[in-house]
Homo-oligomer: A and B are copies of this chain.
Amino acid sequence: MTDSTTPGKRARLVAAAADLLHRQGVQATTIAQVADAATVPTGNVYYYFKTKDDLIRAVIDDRTRQVRAMLDSLRARRSPAARLTALANQWTEMRELVARYGCPFGTLVTELDRRDDGLDVEAAQPIGIILDWAETQFRDMGRTDARELAVAFFAGIQGAALLANALRDPAVMAGQVRHLTRWIATLS
């Protein structure tokens, strides 16, 4: 920490907020609920975050870091196809959460992109990062239509997350990841 505030509290607030924003939605989540979940007095939240939007921004930044870490952890895999498949499997692992509350990255975009302050752009960052990364993988597979394939791939994941959520059925997510995996195998 750069200042002398209690190290744990800020992090606890961000973690609690991330969880609640995902499970309840941005607008439905109150500062009081976040404070309560993090065992911090309500008013004290404003010592760490000037406004609710500031707290939301911190959650988005946290999600963006998660995505970068996720992609970094895939670098060890031998082939681009293996990396893409491994990424898709992340959503299979999250399938119960996805079926109940939607994709943590996707729902954030949908909830925030109708604003015209900076938050809409920031919320879209995880999506943009993954899309660019997937494009690189397809390009490394020698495909000239890498961007189109990257969109088809990640749209397949995000769309399946929405359908799994609508139907409250984790199997929809898992089935689609299997479908995408087989599709990628036919490309290489």
Contact = CB atoms under 8 A, between A and B. Distances in A.
A71 B127 CA distance: 31
List the 7 closest pairs (A to B, CB-CB), nearest first: A159-B159, A155-B159, A27-B27, A158-B159, A124-B166, A155-B160, A127-B166
27 contacts: A24-B114, A25-B27, A27-B27, A101-B113, A102-B113, A102-B114, A106-B110, A106-B162, A109-B162, A110-B165, A113-B168, A123-B166, A127-B162, A127-B166, A131-B163, A131-B167, A151-B163, A154-B159, A155-B159, A155-B160, A155-B163, A156-B159, A157-B159, A158-B162, A159-B160, A159-B162, A162-B162
Interface residues of A, number: 40
A113 B123 CA distance: 20
Nearest to A126: B166
A74 interface: no
Contacts of A23: 114
Given A113-B166, A166-B128, A151 B160 contact: yes
A136 B66 CA distance: 39
